Structure 1
Amino acid sequence: MTPSAPHAWQELKAVLLETIPAERLIDDPLRTLAYGTDASFYRLIPQLVVRPETEEELQRVLTECRVRHLPVTFRAAGTSLSGQAVTDSVLIQLGQGWRGHKILDEGRAIRLQPGVIGARANQLLAPYQRKIGPDPASINSCMIGGIAANNASGMCCGTAQNSYRTVRDIRVILADGALLDTAEPHSVSAFRKSHAALVSGLERLGSETRANEALAEKIRHKYRLKNTTGYALNSLVDFEDGIEILKHLMIGSEGTLGFISAITYESVIDEPEKAAALAFFPDMATTCRATIALKQAPVSAVELMDRAALRSVQDQAGMPSVLKELPEGAAALLVDVRGNDDTELESRLEQVQKVLAEIQTLEPVAFTRDASTYALYWKIRKGLFPAVGAVRETGTTVIIEDVAFPIERLDEGVLALTEVFRRHGYEEAILFGHALEGNLHFVFPQGFEKPGEVARYQALMDEVAQLVGVEYGGSLKAEHGTGRNMAPYVELEWGSDAYALMWELKALFDPDNLLNPDVILSRNPTLHLENLKPLPAADPLIDKCIECGFCEVVCPSKDLTLTPRQRIVLRRELARLEALGDSASDQGKARAQELWQAYAYQGIDTCAATGLCAMQCPVGINTGDLVRKLRHDNNQSKAGTANLVGRHFSGVTSAGRAALSMAGIARATLGPDLLGKVSHGARRISGNRVPQWSPALPKAAPVRVLKCDTPGDDSREKVVYLPSCATRVFGASHDDTETRSVMEITLQLLDKAGFDVILPQQVSQLCCGMAFQSKGLFDEAVRKAEELNGELLRASQNGRYPILCDTSPCTLQMQEHLDERLSMQEPVSFAQEQLLPRLSVTPLDERIAVHVTCSSTRMGLSDSCVALAQACSNDVVVPVDIHCCGFAGDKGFNTPELNAVALDGLAEQVAGCSAGYSNSRTCEIGLSQHGGIPYRSILSLLDRVSRPLKDQRR
């Protein structure tokens, strides 16, 4: 804890409230714990979390913290592994205001604010066949601020395309609040005057360093390797101008020298033609010799995996059978080769094959250009770190050490390091890494609770540091950043002269040592053994979580309350407090009660439980399952009511349609504006118990269409049509030119395509059970699913006929819970496979939008959704960063703020579109409200642009 007086935090918050809204100044116990957690194995709880949205706000925060001598830590996505994004002081967290971007020079450069996700930057550059140079494994989750501040590299980046080598310009705010933009001459000129001492100091240190031949040569050697240990001392030998030195020192400085508010990258070519091979070798020595030989070949990446690493993934679904057959001691290289066109790729492949032909392999090396096999090979490599996390003992963490050897000594270095791990009892460690750069990762589970474990870990780290940093002249941190994890060893690796130079640099930028103290540089020799994160058992559903944060980018509540990672962090803390039982202090019991009360809304009520997090999670954790379980525990008293609703479901949906009709009358009488105010007032008075009325609330669905006789026609193919309960309740929108309900559209489209439609008996009583399951009412969910299962088996003649449901989430629910004989068809896949071949389509010449629902994503239909829309229109907009609409069944009515936050920015992206299309009626309600255009079923779009190939009407 910082020694500042306790009242300093309250004083800081009070003064910041003058310019920053209270909701962006966070000091409650639940959120400070949640927001203060990163992917490392350290834990510090901030006293205050601040979310500035502008540079001016950030400058004010830094000024006020400096006045009170309060340390500050900057936080981007929190995927860092070395403890550089945690603090027990003031945490500055990037919010929605830091996601700006601008393409420059026709894609040859890109200016990015620090809150932009790395993969998003590459999305923006993709039309130009370019990308940013850094390519960390976490690129789908980490932010540009973290990529630059850690000088993150990755699989193909090497040392030539990292942030240090590809930064063009930088915009930075220093500890004193000063702003420098190296892209703006007037900013540079003003900075040279206002901070002459800093600029001249950097130039002096650069001159002295270059004059010290031994130190300069050591620096050049160190940065011939991947190296993120300490500050970027290469800036002092690479540049003479103080501004250039400053620009490059900021790369890899981990928030200890200033805040990067924007960075301009020189982009690199993204070669479109790709091929890869898994090459297996009899032993590690041969594998390392192959790596050295490939260093001179035209390869994009060479990833090394030892036998233990391959064993950790060999039993996963889809893995090549050869992995199980490899002998002990074997190892593999994933060799990736790319080219701008087929000719260039084939030429490079020929050269690589010649190199590998000279080296003994366990089987012939075969390159593949098949996209699925190529993806599988990279899945093997990227799944190694989480594979250890998935099998570790509950209560232990996963540690990944990140070192680099000089490539010419890679084979002996690997053997020596492996022996060190064995000698200290870490036989379960796996080895993999970016072999071309001599960059290796050792991953192993580590517990700190048992006696002797901290001492064992310390002994291991001491020996690893001596071996890699001193004996082999390598890097103790090649790409993961120094953080707290390696700060005590910086002097050992670099020597006293370089270490003293780093402290001089720190003093020039931050004389009061307030920016992320103890990160990179620390006088505490046991810092890496302190503030270790507890990972107590909480629930088998989440105990394998390694808190990496990969799940956060797709979570609809990430800008409202908590993310999946944060929900797990808090559930673990609650489990820890509960485990204390009667032995807990009164303070501990009070803390648990306070956390549970806050968790009800933050963790449970605002979770959309979509399951998208499981797709991003390296170990497949669906945090929605945890939330549903907690809802189940909280809703035990509602089981009887749920059963009553389920048994009278037809009446309940009828009541829902009646309520919509009444709402329509009120809308016509009062007008949308007044009705909205009345609804808002009623909701506020009721303590948010009354659902929020929405202007996008549709009319009641006309269920009479389901009562029409549909005489059988043996000349037509048959399909069972199951309208979901949502489409049986919600009809067309009031202001939409499309006046038909989804049921009417679907029936007419099926008829147009020549299908004979079968409707299940008692269709108004049927439900897939998801409405109950999402609330944790599992018993009734199962009963309704079983009831539906029987009806669909009868209607489809035990699976003889396919079953089309018009709502994607319901289809997924049924695919997961109903009889395997039933062929459940989702609207998009059915339209592509069964309807398009029977229809003549004339695409629209107007701009439309398409929303891919969470369930479609989980079913692997994202590309199909877009392709179907593109078959129907020549101008299709797919909004970016809208992973989930957040409507989540009825949460759009009962927790409307979740829907609003999830769709923030949608209206700007779909401006100019005539309409939007999706495949879930409830999602379409929220999309219509926040998109500013009508959203309809994608079947409506297909119906609009199509006609029968021939007369298939009865």
Structure 2
Amino acid sequence: MTGVAAHPTPAPSPSRGGESNDSPSPSRGGGAIDSPSPSVGRGWGGGPSSLLFELAGIVPSHRLITDPLRRLAYGTDASFYRLVPKVVVEVADESEVMAVLAACHRHGAPVTFRAAGTSLSGQAVSDSVLMILGNGWTQAVVEQEGRAIRLQPGVIGAEANRRLAAFARKIGPDPASIDSCKIGGIAANNASGMCCGTSDNSYQTVTSMRLILADGTLVDTGNPDSVKAFQASHAGLLAALDDMGKRVRADGPLASRIKRKFAIKNTTGYSLNALVDFTQPLDILQHLMIGSEGTLGFIAEITYRTVPEHAHKASGLLLFPHIAEACRAVVLLKSSPVSAVELMDRAALRSVEDKPGMPAQIVGLAEGVTALLVETRAETAEGLAANIKTIGEVLGGVTTLFAPAFTDDAYEYGKLWKIRKGLFPAVGAVRPVGTTVIIEDVAFPIESLADATVDLEHLCRKHAYHEAIIFGHALDGNLHFVFTQDFGSKEEVERYSNFMDDVCELVVKKYDGSLKAEHGTGRNMAPFVEMEWGAEATALMWDIKHLLDPQTLLNPGVILDTNPKAHLENLKPLPAADALVDTCIECGFCERMCPSHGLTLSPRQRITSWREISRLAAVGDPAAELRHLYDYQGIDTCAACGLCATACPVGIETGRLTKSLRGRRLGESVRSVGDWAERHYGGAMIATKIGLGAAGLVSRVAGPGVMAAMAGAARKLTRGLVPKIGKHLPTAAAYTLSPGAADGDAVVYFPTCAARSMGPAVGDPEKDSLPTVMTRVLGRAGYRVVVPEGVDGLCCGQAFESKGLQASADRKAAELEAALAKASDNGRLPIVMDASACTWRMKTFLGERLKVQDSVEFLHDAVLQRLNPRKQVEPVLVHVNCGARKMGLDDKMAALAKACATTVVTPEGVGCCGFAGDKGFTHPELNDHALRKLADQVPKGCEAGYSSNRTCEIGLADHADLPYRSIVTLLDRVTR
């Protein structure tokens, strides 16, 4: 699949891109192709509209983003820079990438590639064309029995490792963001991490790649036919690379300097080591692409040589009286069997010592105390014990505050690594509102680590960054330092500038280190590349850039920039928006958890957008268009599921902001309806059951498919006023609350609203409603069931809270608390709820006042052992819904299912279902987007799907086209 795009007519030499920071255009959004930002930046040829019209012929309109809200949202990555793109293009495959590149070259328009946007140095933002990955870039193919893996750029790093887990292998790079960052960014930034050092990063482990050059040419370096065609079409380019390599290898001093610079971690500038390490031009090209940050081409696929993932691990936290002794230990440990050594200075330890779960030994330490967190790994338990013994002998040559101790208990060493993982967010969470948190990334020769660390601490104090902490991958001489920065005044920007000048002087001129060890050069260090590398090597980098990107249109301003102040331009504001989200550091870790990401906005983008709206409001600008767009993209299509908080370094639940904003926009009439429903909740449930009964009657007479089609036509005719009704709409619940065993152990069971109102779908072979099944199983297990008084009018308040009616929600929860307390004898009896979302709501509301258990955990912990399930042979699907995930019930849900069925499938890439209470009826596109990967994973002969939220089960059933039920129904089936 080798193609050569027509070479564009060279555009006039333009000025440097990326210097404007225009606010989003007030023009209409929603995909109109004639509404870019009014600023016509570098090289937009015949004007923005002409390029946009051409792009509209390449990708469908819904993947051509021009509305001001989403352009603003995509103008943010994890760095402290912002550039608002004029257009965001979501590409679906290689042919679209090639076509978009060709169009941009014809119009002289700069283009930037973006994967997850977790880049820390400004690599993933643009004020021109921003190219983002669509949903189709997630292929991962394990080869050679796990010794290699072929990955597309949209695969999340941790997902690649999950595919390799069965082979006891993993990819070499292990960045801290591996649960969120994507392979495209890992390769393009040559990201490393705590364990991979300089031996297992992308540069060292790449074996082949499919890459698309700036001129639109695709070459697969692992395909002989593709290589042969490329050698014919690009003989001149390959000859130039060959000549460049020969000149560098023949230049002894330059070649030696390159080798020395890459002996430690280094991502400053291009991978010049490719010119020294390889003699074949295509090998040189392939390795130049690693770490090129999208400035030389697009990596469409990469094949890695994998590395072992040892099953046996142990970690120890070692405390030293001062930094010099800790660094002396690092030098000794370098040759011992350790896989990671993380250094943390006293300020770093102090930043987390009061956090829950921290070890007692880090509290109240003397000034200057330094910690090393050491990990060792082995294939066998015996090998691990031998490693620990060897490390202990090595440490006998240094002074520690406590005798070195290692643990191989996963829970215990997990607590130790929680210290390290909590450092960055600890600073970010306590920074003053309006400031940003910056993490810098340098490397020193390991023998200089002690002195360099002391010098860095001194510089932080000199420039009044008293909150700064220092930590890092000590084995590689790689230090991170984290500090907070206000870019809101000229004086503060100047303070930052002076600090960075001093840091660069220290790293380069005193220690000959790396200004960027693993975070990539980006915009942040682009002006300092020549300072680190010198004029000759920097000129070589410019030669590489001009050879592969003659028009300098690929990610201009990144890696190389002649503007000495570029790192001080386009700084991202972080104004106060709402106390619920002001601690957000815009890292993007939340995005993989969000069901609306890629449909409308992610949690990070919701916060970014609301910050801008709030900033404009503070200066008297109503931001009418942004607010109008935000109503749908930010508020209406947010599931408010809370899963974002589980991945957020500072624990922000963006759904809380959404629910607050919903409440603020409610009119008095809506609040009146909410108040009535709160007071007459039993009547509201009866009305719901009547509606479901009527729909069920139509479904039985006409058939579920006909009913769904009729409802769909009505919805289309009324432009969405009629809710979506699918084939698997529940019937009205009819149930019996069995008292269970008269002489058994008592348990309080609260059947939630959905369980009391929604029965099985018309076509479901299981006809009993959830309360009937739940009490039947409890009775079968020997329990006496106690139901709270007045159950028909009780509610946890979840339905009110999701609509923004917080006061009504809390009153209903308080009412339920009183009923549960009475029924359980103030908590003496266990209390069980049958919907995980409602259980989570009550756990959160109750705190320590009263303990409630979800049906999943009670069935797993208490009921299963009293029964004798007979495993069914038919496969089943399992969906761990948001409430269950937030309660950590993933393993218990899976264990329950595996006790009941021989084959249990938990579909990959299916998180929050997006039904979100009633969003599946009112905004079904959210449910459709969230479950787009479900249907293809339904196993042959599957009997049904199982979860623990009745509303979630509606959308799941529609998309899998088979019944979904509560997990207790499966347990009931196999214990009858």
Band the TM-score falls in, shorter-chain normalisation: over 0.9
1:407 pairs with one of 446, 450, 453: 446
Encode CA deviations 1:409-429: one digit per residue, 9 max, x unaligned: 111121222222222222221
- Partners of 1:665 and 1:3 in 2: CA distance: 63
1:630 pairs with one of 655, 661, 673: 661
Residue in 1 aligned with 2:934?
906
- Partners of 1:512 and 1:7 in 2: CA distance: 17
Q: 1:740 aligned to 2:747? A: no
Structure 1 stretch displaced more, 396-405 or 758-767 = 758-767
Deviation at 1:712, TM superposition (A): 7.8
Conserved? CA contact 2:44–2:107, under 8 Å: no
Equivalent positions of 1:453-464 (< 5 A) are 453-464=492-503
- Partners of 1:146 and 1:522 in 2: CA distance: 21
Residue in 2 aligned with 1:39?
78
Equivalent positions of 1:625-774 (< 5 A) are 625-637=656-668, 638-703=670-735, 705-706=736-737, 710=739, 713=742, 715-774=743-802
Q: 1:932 aligned to 2:964? A: no
Conserved? CA contact 2:740–2:775, under 8 Å: no
Deviation at 1:857, TM superposition (A): 1.0
Question: Root-mean-square deviation (CA), in Å?
Answer: 1.3
SS of the residue corresponding to residue 51 of structure 1 reads strand
Encode CA deviations 1:715-756: one digit per residue, 9 max, x unaligned: 211111111100111101222221211111111111111111
Equivalent positions of 1:848-887 (< 5 A) are 848-887=876-915
Amino acid at match of 1:548: C
SS of the residue corresponding to residue 136 of structure 2 reads helix
2:829 pairs with one of 782, 801, 811: 801
Equivalent positions of 1:253-402 (< 5 A) are 253-402=292-441
Residue in 2 aligned with 1:596?
627
- Partners of 2:210 and 2:44 in 1: CA distance: 33
Deviation at 1:819, TM superposition (A): 7.3
Conserved? CA contact 2:831–2:853, under 8 Å: yes
Residue in 2 aligned with 1:607?
638
Conserved? CA contact 1:850–1:869, under 8 Å: yes
Conserved? CA contact 1:206–1:237, under 8 Å: yes
Encode CA deviations 1:380-401: one digit per residue, 9 max, x unaligned: 1011111110111111111111
Encode CA deviations 1:657-694: one digit per residue, 9 max, x unaligned: 11112112222344444433332232233332321111
- Partners of 2:558 and 2:505 in 1: CA distance: 20
- Partners of 1:157 and 1:734 in 2: CA distance: 55
Amino acid at match of 1:766: L
Amino acid at match of 1:683: R
Encode CA deviations 1:183-234: one digit per residue, 9 max, x unaligned: 1100000001101111111111000000000000000001100000000000
Distance 1:664 1:550, change over 3 A: same
- Partners of 1:417 and 1:794 in 2: CA distance: 61
Conserved? CA contact 1:796–1:803, under 8 Å: yes
Structure 1 stretch displaced more, 415-424 or 834-843 = 415-424
Residue in 1 aligned with 2:811?
783
Amino acid at match of 1:245: I
Residue in 1 aligned with 2:971?
942
Encode CA deviations 1:830-859: one digit per residue, 9 max, x unaligned: 011110121112222332111111111111
Residue in 2 aligned with 1:950?
none
> How many residues matched?
935
Residue in 1 aligned with 2:17?
none
Encode CA deviations 1:619-678: one digit per residue, 9 max, x unaligned: 110101101110110125222211111222112111111111211222234444443333
Conserved? CA contact 1:801–1:823, under 8 Å: no
SS of the residue corresponding to residue 845 of structure 1 reads coil
Distance 1:674 1:6, change over 3 A: farther
Encode CA deviations 1:99-137: one digit per residue, 9 max, x unaligned: 111111111110000000000000000011100000000
Deviation at 1:19, TM superposition (A): 3.1
SS of the residue corresponding to residue 547 of structure 1 reads coil
- Partners of 2:953 and 2:462 in 1: CA distance: 60
Conserved? CA contact 1:907–1:931, under 8 Å: yes
Percent identity reads 55
Deviation at 1:502, TM superposition (A): 0.3
Residue in 1 aligned with 2:199?
160
Residue in 1 aligned with 2:275?
236
SS of the residue corresponding to residue 440 of structure 1 reads strand
Conserved? CA contact 1:639–1:780, under 8 Å: no
Structure 2 portions without partners, runs of 5+: 1-19, 21-40
- Partners of 1:408 and 1:207 in 2: CA distance: 32
Residue in 2 aligned with 1:952?
none
Encode CA deviations 1:345-397: one digit per residue, 9 max, x unaligned: 11111111111121101111110111111111111101111111011111111
Amino acid at match of 2:971: L
Conserved? CA contact 1:870–1:876, under 8 Å: yes
Conserved? CA contact 2:704–2:728, under 8 Å: no
Q: 1:514 aligned to 2:546? A: no
Residue in 1 aligned with 2:843?
815
Encode CA deviations 1:44-66: one digit per residue, 9 max, x unaligned: 00000000101111111000000
Distance 1:417 1:823, change over 3 A: closer
Amino acid at match of 2:265: K
Amino acid at match of 1:756: R
Distance 1:750 1:598, change over 3 A: same
Residue in 2 aligned with 1:432?
471
Structure 1 portions without partners, runs of 5+: 948-954
- Partners of 2:972 and 2:710 in 1: CA distance: 38
Encode CA deviations 1:525-562: one digit per residue, 9 max, x unaligned: 10000000000011111111000000111101112111
SS of the residue corresponding to residue 519 of structure 2 reads coil
SS of the residue corresponding to residue 506 of structure 2 reads helix
Deviation at 1:946, TM superposition (A): 2.2
Residue in 1 aligned with 2:174?
135
Conserved? CA contact 1:768–1:788, under 8 Å: yes
- Partners of 1:602 and 1:467 in 2: CA distance: 46
Amino acid at match of 1:921: R
Residue in 2 aligned with 1:923?
952
Structure 1 stretch displaced more, 549-558 or 816-825 = 816-825
SS of the residue corresponding to residue 187 of structure 2 reads helix
Amino acid at match of 2:910: I
Distance 1:513 1:892, change over 3 A: same
Distance 1:209 1:6, change over 3 A: closer
SS of the residue corresponding to residue 965 of structure 2 reads strand
- Partners of 1:636 and 1:317 in 2: CA distance: 41
Conserved? CA contact 2:45–2:107, under 8 Å: no
Conserved? CA contact 1:79–1:548, under 8 Å: yes
SS of the residue corresponding to residue 263 of structure 1 reads strand
Encode CA deviations 1:457-507: one digit per residue, 9 max, x unaligned: 111111211221232111000000000000000000001110000000001
- Partners of 2:319 and 2:659 in 1: CA distance: 44
Conserved? CA contact 1:917–1:937, under 8 Å: yes
- Partners of 1:347 and 1:621 in 2: CA distance: 43
Equivalent positions of 1:164-203 (< 5 A) are 164-203=203-242
Distance 1:7 1:625, change over 3 A: farther
Distance 1:822 1:460, change over 3 A: closer
Distance 1:711 1:505, change over 3 A: closer
Deviation at 1:711, TM superposition (A): 8.5
